[in-house]
Amino acid sequence: MDEPQAVAADHNSTADTAALSGLKFSKGHGTGNDFVLVADPNGTLAVTPEQVAALCDRHRGIGGDGLIRAVPSRLLPEGQELLTRTPDAEWFMDYRNGDGSLSEMCGNGVRVFVHFLITEGLVDLPAGESLTIGTRGGAKTIVRTAAGYAVDMGPWEFIFPGEATARAMDSLVSAAGLEVARPALSVSMGNPHTVVALAELAELQATQLFTAPHVDPTPPHGTNVEFVVPSEPLVHEGVGTITMRVHERGVGETQSCGTGACAAAVAIRHWAGQGAPDVWNVQVPGGVVGVKFFLGAEGHEHVELSGPAVIVASGTLS
């Protein structure tokens, strides 16, 4: 698992992107979580963290929460290692946060990545069929559905399992707009998340996410922080519903976070106790994603994330 690497914020966008002149790109999003996407079938594109940050700059670049490079798995060391276990993961989602730092993966980004591969003619995926791709968070299998894509995000786990089991919380989170620190539960979806439950939507709206919340203790590789309000009633016709905002490490607040939605459902389901549903709707500022729990082939519980993916524009850097 790669630890994010800090990137200086005072980059010169024009200078940083000058070497990328002529680069073909697309812009896409999944429930408002947006990305710059580039195809690199020969594995020859070298993009520096500063260039990623410049491309994702919303005022002087293309703008996005991150950059996704589509590259054959065999052309990356981490992709080659993954192919020894999952030989059908032909394409690798090389994902960078908006500040240029590496990230393990992104749930919304996976859907947009596969949609990009289809749009670019790099894969053929009719509705109902599946595709396996590589990420730094492991291989992910995606099914194309009538409404978008459903992704097997793999098994979830508590980052601090002893505390999660004994006390149903493992850390305290402070954020601007909240009067006191709140108990939280940390969940790994291949990348780290810390989930805080709030009582009311007004409290969620008052929480300020311009700066990163303070998490004590912080998971070893940093963490994304989700603030969640359970609906009242929590469950309707067998489906749980929650509303969420998120601060993503290396990005800030985003319109949606797929792995964060999964982690939020894990935490709320754990707090709800026995009888909590396996199917959830997670409302985020950018729309609604679905989360479903099911038993994986190896006996561990997996999480499926479903939702739309859209390519909104394509172009060439001047």
Residues that are catalytic? 106, 257
On whether the CB atoms of residues 187 and 158 are closer than 8 A, the answer is: yes
| Distance in Å from the first CA to the final CA of the chain | 35
| Of residues 189, 251, 269, the one with CA closest to residue 4 | 251
DSSP string, 232-299: EEEEETTEEEEEEEEEETTTEEES--HHHHHHHHHHHHHHH-TT--SEEEEEETTEEEEEEEEE-TTS
In angstroms, rounded to a whole number, what is the distance separating the alpha carbons of residues 141 and 158?
22
Q: Is the peptide bond between 217 and the residue preceding it cis, with omega within 30 degrees of 0? A: yes
- Crossing angle of helices 258-272 and 107-119, in 10° steps, is 140
Give the Cα separation of 96 and 52 in Å (integer).
Answer: 7
Q: Where are the alpha helices (DSSP H) in the chain?
A: 13-18, 49-56, 77-83, 107-119, 161-167, 201-206, 258-272
With CA atoms as reference, report the closest residue to 93 among 159, 56, 137: 137
Q: What angle do CA 135, 100, 80 make, to 5 degrees?
A: 30
